Every structure is written in structure tokens, then in C-alpha cells.
């Protein structure tokens, strides 16, 4: 188990920081591509060993179902997608599925608490590094996609924003729980909200939505309204800060919610001939499929997009220039593997939802809700779940909260058998 944990963190570290390394050593890109390829193989290999000896986690069934559906996708598109391209194109969805399987397996072992402590230390280092890197990128290139922190300048600004909010809320909920399971601690909010600093300079418009949900969930408390007043005041200050810096670095924040701007940004922009708006790509996908029931169900084949692949795209994919650039998760999964692939990957990414009943504290329920909101936005905003650092970090939190979060620890302590001496004394007292 120790060796498997070591391998997991090796994969996590390489995927999390190679973008920043490439900023300093751009000539190493080819080496890193092969390293990422090897990391994918490591995760798949570890998942295979889990499946071989244990099939408890429902993710195993989803993996088998996905492999079956993707095989049908290959045979339906064999004329345009070669076997090597197909297998290479499977890397991203398989990385997500196998990460969840490996994490669940570790969570059932005696090493989970050690793993959890190491992962928390990694999250702190990861989140803190984003601040100086983002500021440096902002000073060099200005606000925009180049402000990606450890993602480098490869368009990871949206992923960075999502992870900053996720990690910040995770630590606020976790540390507040230690003080009071049901109410939010203002000191935790003040401290961990500093991790959101990169969101003020990277131009991601969705930050306004995340921040609004962030504040609302933190101020929802069971009968402790007075304790929420400082958090509300701090939240207003955060909104004003984000509004100020966005106005200084990008443009008038009021335009973000302007009807014409949203239509042009999400649906259609007649001036755009490079990066077609993300929701317009969904419309174009249906036009390409032309109502073909098999393409709707099974997609156009894996390997349509190059992405981080090292073997190129399918012959059909090379003609789909208008699908390059920013895509939403729903679009990427559907066009490659069809609606059936969506039906497989969507439920497993929200596996934790059906386990809400085991959460007994207000803080764990808050985090549960925030995680659900953020993953829902990932499916409709970008393809974050195909980003390997995002898949591993959010995957850890999916498993962690799905098993009870901090409430699981309290439940396990409550159910521990009493020491022999204490138990004997209790029996004497009863007599």
C-alpha cells in the first residue's frame, strides 16, 4: 500500500506542476508529454490491480460499462479512427475513472489517515504556489488565459479558479468543523480566503458566480445568525475586491451579466472565427451528427481532439477545427463517446450525492453542496474533469465527502469498542 501511495503522489506532483516547469523550460514539452502518458499508464495499472481483488466500489461497474460502450464506439467509427488513436483518446476518461477507483481503495485501507494528511499538505503547497505564479503571469501577460498558475500559460485559468475555490472551501469547512461541526469559524474564512487571490487577476468571469455561492453557503448556519454577520461583511469586501480588480484589469464587471455579452460569449459571436463560443459548439455537434441515432448514442470516436494526446487525432477530427479551444465537459464527452458515455461518466462524478444522508454536521453538508455546484459548473463551463490535476484533487474530495468527510471520523470514534478496563468498570456499575 505504501508503494501505491508513493506512485499516486508521484503522478499527482508531475501532473500538477509540469505546466509551471514548461514556462521556464519550454523545450522539455515533448519529454513531459511522454511523462504524462506514463502517468496515465500508472493510474490505469493501479486501478486494474484494485479491480482484480475488489469490486466493492460502484466505480468498478462504471469502468466496465464504459469500456463496453467505448468498444462499440470504436467499431462504429473504425473507418475514421485507428486502434492506436482510439486507445490514446481513451486516456482522459479512463484517468478520471481509475483515479476514483484507486482513491476509494486507499480510503478503505489503514493508510487513509496518513494519505489524507499528506494530501492536505500538498493542497496547501499547491494553493499557495498559485499566488506568486499568478501575479508573475499577470505582470508579464496581463489578465487572461495566460494566468494559469501552475498550469502555465496553456489556458488553465478556469481550472485554477475552480481549484482555488474548491480548496479554500474545503479547508474552511474542515477547520471550522474542528471548532464547531455546525457553524463556520470566521478565522478560517479570513485565512483560507487568501487562497482566492489568483481569481482577482486571471479574468475568469465565473468567479463572480462561485463567490456568490461561496458566501451564501458560509452564512447559512443553524440558529447562529449573529455569527454570520462578520462573514457577510467579509464576503461583501471580497465581492468589492474582485469587482475592483476585474474592472482594472479586464473591463466593466457589469458587462459580465449583460444579455448581449452573455449571448456572444456563450452562444454565438459572428466576429469569432477561431474559438467558437462553447455552447455554440453543442449546436454544431448536433449539426455534424445530422440526427444519426448511432452517432448520437455512441459519438464520433475517441481521438477526435488532440488535447494532451501524443499520437494525434482521428482523420475526421482533423476537419473539426471549430471544436478546438474552450469546450464544456458535456460537449467533449458526448461528441467522442456519445450520449451513452455521458450516462456513464456523469453519475460517477456525482457519486457522493446519494450519500448525503451520512453527513450529520452543517459544515460537511455545506462542502457537499459546494462540491456538487462546482462539478455541475464544470460539466457546463469547461472540461475540468479531463484536466488531470483537477481530476485527482476533486476526485479525492468526491471520495472524502462521499464517505462522510469529518463526520466519518467522528462516527468511527463513537463506534470504537470501549477499552477492556473501562468496559469492565461499566459492567460492575450496572450490577
Q: Which of 102, 94, 106 is nearest to 345 (CA)?
A: 94
Q: Are 378 and 385 in contact (CB under 8 A)?
A: yes
Tally of CA atoms within 13 A in the half-sphere of 312 that contains its CB: 10
Integer CA distances (angstroms), 321 to 70, 306, 315, in order: 23, 11, 12
E-strand stretches of 61-102: none
* Residue 374 Cα to chain centre, angstroms: 8
- One digit per residue, the tens of pLDDT, for the chain of length 431 reads 588 899 999 999 999 998 888 888 877 888 888 888 899 999 999 999 999 887 788 888 999 999 999 999 999 988 878 888 888 889 999 999 999 999 999 999 889 999 999 999 999 999 999 999 988 888 888 777 788 889 888 778 889 999 999 999 999 999 999 988 888 888 888 889 889 988 888 777 788 889 889 888 888 765 555 565 666 666 666 666 666 656 655 555 555 555 555 455 555 555 555 567 777 888 888 888 888 899 999 998 887 765 445 566 666 666 666 677 778 899 999 999 999 999 999 999 999 998 888 899 999 999 999 999 999 999 998 889 999 999 999 999 999 999 999 998 766 666 555 555 545 554 544 44
pLDDT at 422: 44
Q: Are 31 and 39 in contact (CB under 8 A)?
A: no
Q: Are 116 and 400 in contact (CB under 8 A)?
A: yes
* Residue 358 Cα to chain centre, angstroms: 23
Q: Domain extents for the chain?
A: 2-268+318-414
The DSSP output letter for 419 is P
Give residues with Cβ within 8 angstroms of 198, minimum separation 6. 130, 131, 134, 135, 147, 149, 160, 161, 164
Q: Are 76 and 294 in contact (CB under 8 A)?
A: yes
Amino acid at each position: 500500500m505504501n508503494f501505491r501511495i508513493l506512485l499516486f503522489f508521484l503522478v499527482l506532483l508531475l501532473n500538477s506542476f509540469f505546466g509551471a516547469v514548461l514556462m521556464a523550460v519550454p523545450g522539455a514539452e515533448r519529454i513531459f508529454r511522454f511523462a504524462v502518458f506514463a502517468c496515465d499508464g500508472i493510474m490505469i495499472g493501479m486501478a486494474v490491480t484494485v479491480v482484480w481483488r475488489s469490486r466493492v466500489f460502484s466505480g468498478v461497474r462504471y469502468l466496465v460499462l464504459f469500456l463496453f460502450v467505448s468498444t462499440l464506439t470504436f467499431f462504429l467509427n473504425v473507418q475514421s479512427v485507428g486502434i492506436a488513436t482510439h486507445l490514446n483518446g481513451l486516456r482522459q476518461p479512463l484517468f478520471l475513472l481509475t483515479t476514483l477507483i484507486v482513491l476509494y481503495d486507499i480510503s478503505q485501507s489503514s493508510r487513509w489517515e496518513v494519505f489524507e494528511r499528506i494530501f492536505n499538505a500538498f493542497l496547501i503547497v499547491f494553493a499557495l504556489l498559485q499566488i506568486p505564479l499568478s501575479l508573475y503571469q499577470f505582470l508579464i501577460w496581463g489578465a487572461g488565459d495566460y494566468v494559469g498558475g501552475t498550469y502555465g500559460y496553456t489556458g488553465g485559468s478556469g481550472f485554477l479558479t475552480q481549484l482555488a475555490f474548491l480548496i479554500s472551501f474545503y479547508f474552511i469547512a474542515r477547520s471550522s468543523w474542528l471548532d464547531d461541526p455546525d457553524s463556520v469559524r470566521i478565522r478560517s474564512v479570513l485565512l483560507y480566503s487568501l487562497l482566492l487571490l489568483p481569481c482577482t487577476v486571471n479574468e475568469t468571469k465565473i468567479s463572480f458566480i462561485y463567490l456568490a455561492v461561496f458566501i451564501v453557503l458560509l452564512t447559512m448556519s443553524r440558529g447562529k445568525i449573529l455569527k454570520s454577520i462578520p462573514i457577510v461583511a467579509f464576503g461583501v469586501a471580497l465581492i468589492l475586491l474582485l469587482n475592483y480588480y476585474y474592472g482594472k484589469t479586464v473591463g466593466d464587471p457589469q458587462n459580465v451579466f449583460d444579455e448581449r455579452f452573455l449571448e456572444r460569449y456563450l452562444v454565438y459571436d459572428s466576429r469569432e472565427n477561431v474559438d467558437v463560443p462553447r455552447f455554440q459548439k453543442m449546436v454544431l455537434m448536433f449539426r455534424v451528427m445530422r440526427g444519426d441515432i448511432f452517432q448520437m448514442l455512441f459519438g464520433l470516436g475517441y481521438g477526435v481532439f488532440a488535447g494532451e494526446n501524443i499520437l494525434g487525432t482521428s482523420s475526421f477530427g482533423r476537419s473539426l477545427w471549430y471544436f478546438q479551444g474552450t469546450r464544456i465537459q458535456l460537449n467533449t464527452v458526448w461528441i467522442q463517446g456519445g450520449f451513452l458515455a455521458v450516462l456513464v461518466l456523469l453519475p460517477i462524478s456525482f457519486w457522493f450525492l446519494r450519500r448525503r444522508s451520512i453527513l450529520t454536521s452543517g459544515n460537511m453538508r455545506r462542502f457537499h453542496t459546494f462540491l456538487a455546484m462546482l462539478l455541475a459548473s464544470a460539466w457546463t463551463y469547461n472540461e475540468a474533469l479531463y484536466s488531470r490535476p483537477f481530476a485527482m484533487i476533486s476526485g479525492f474530495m468526491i471520495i472524502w465527502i462521499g464517505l462522510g468527510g469529518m463526520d466519518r471520523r467522528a462516527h468511527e470514534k463513537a463506534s470504537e469498542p470501549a477499552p477492556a478496563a473501562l468496559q469492565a468498570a461499566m459492567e460492575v456499575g450496572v450490577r
